Amino acid sequence: MDWMIVKRVFVGGGKNFVRGGAVSAATVLVMTVTLAIIGSLIFLSALLSFTLDTVKDKVDISVYFVTTATEPAILAVKDQLEKLPEVDTVTYMSAADALTAFRGRHANDQLTLQSLDLLGYNPLDASLTVRAKDPSKYEVIVNFLDASPALSTSGTSIIDRINYDANNKQAIDRLSLAITATRQIGLAVIILFVIASILIAFATIRLAIYTSKEEIAVMKLVGASNAYVQAPFVVEGIITGLIAAVLVLFFFWPATWYVGLKTAAWFGGFNLGQYYVSHFALIFVILMLSGILLGGVASIFAIRKYLKV
């Protein structure tokens, strides 16, 4: 590789960018907006995924057992549930643990505690809390419990009741559809701005070719290849994309921290500033590659179409 040629290509690309003046600045501005939308879509996708995971974590099945159910019988049901491929975790809470938790939740409600003491026994049931790997599988688990009831030695079911709200699954399904629709709309917006950026890049390259047509003609006469003539314009497009990516990265730093401080409580604990810092490497790579591809590809297509020397 001839490093002198490489140096000339990069120097030529830099000169083309500087000579572009206002047109180059306009191209940077449009690419900055495009990359900012791409970055915003990353944040929006992370927020929606966080919200969906939060909702999923709050959905479960509670299986309550009759007060006469023995612990070995309940643990046997737990073992059966854990063998199901749809089940993620099964948590056992004894009647004594349920009573302790109840007293803790009502520590400031003396009337309730006194009423509980007057009963003279533990009215709470032992239970199993079942979480599925996927919200769509909860109905399968409920059907399994209905079809295979756990029986006591007397032949009666030891399951008192099963608490599961099917509306939770519908809410999760609707949220999933909303996330998919939002991502599709965001992708469509990005495509529109990418097209706008490419069109402006076309104009920039065409203007650069027009102002450099005599220089290009001389290069052609002395035997320069098409690749050598076109390379500086590709470098110019890449420089434009990189500058736009750097501007977006600098803009996101204060913007995400400000928005994160104002909306963390509203978003259920999701902080945009913390997400930006923890995923900076990923966002950096995505924006830099997007800038390079946007600028470089736009320049390549513009040169193929308009460079006729």
pLDDT of residue 172: 67
Q: Which domains does the chain have, with CATH numbers?
A: 3-55+171-306 (no CATH), 67-157 (3.30.70.3040)
Phi, psi of 25 (to 5 degrees): -65, -40
Segment 280-302 shows an average pLDDT of: 85
54-113, pLDDT tens digit by residue?
777 777 888 888 887 888 888 888 888 888 888 888 889 888 888 888 788 877 877 777
Q: Mean pLDDT of all residues in the chain?
A: 78
Q: Which of 83-87, 176-180, 201-205 has the highest mean pLDDT?
A: 83-87
pLDDT band of residue 251 (cuts 50, 70, 90) is very high
> Which pLDDT belongs to residue 138?
80
Dig out the tokens for 76 from the structure. 């046997």
pLDDT in tens, 148-176: 766 555 667 788 888 876 666 676 677 67
Q: Say if CB 276 and CB 252 are below 8 A apart.
A: yes
Quote the pLDDT of residue 164. Answer: 76
CB burial readout 250-277, b (16+ within 10 A) else e = eebeebbbebbeeeeeebeebbbbebbe
Q: What is the DSSP letter of 308?
A: -
Q: What predicted TM-score, i.e. pTM, was given to this entire model?
A: 0.70
> What is the three-class DSSP state of 297?
helix
Name the band, by pLDDT with cuts 50, 70 and 90, for residue 245: very high
Q: Is the pLDDT of residue 281 over 90?
A: yes
| Tokens encoding 8 | 């000339």
At residue 249, the pLDDT reads: 93
Please name the residue ranges forming H helices in 58-148: 71-82, 95-105, 110-119, 138-147
Q: How far apart (Å, rounded) are the C-alpha atoms in residues 229 and 147?
A: 75
The pLDDT of residue 101 is: 81
Mean pLDDT computed over 283-306? 81
Bin 268: left if φ > 0, else alpha if -120 < ψ < 50, else beta: left
Asked which of 33-47, 75-89, 192-206 is least confident by mean pLDDT, the reply is 192-206
How large is the average pLDDT for residues 264-276? 82
Q: Taking 80 as the threshold, does the pLDDT of residue 243 lie above it?
A: yes
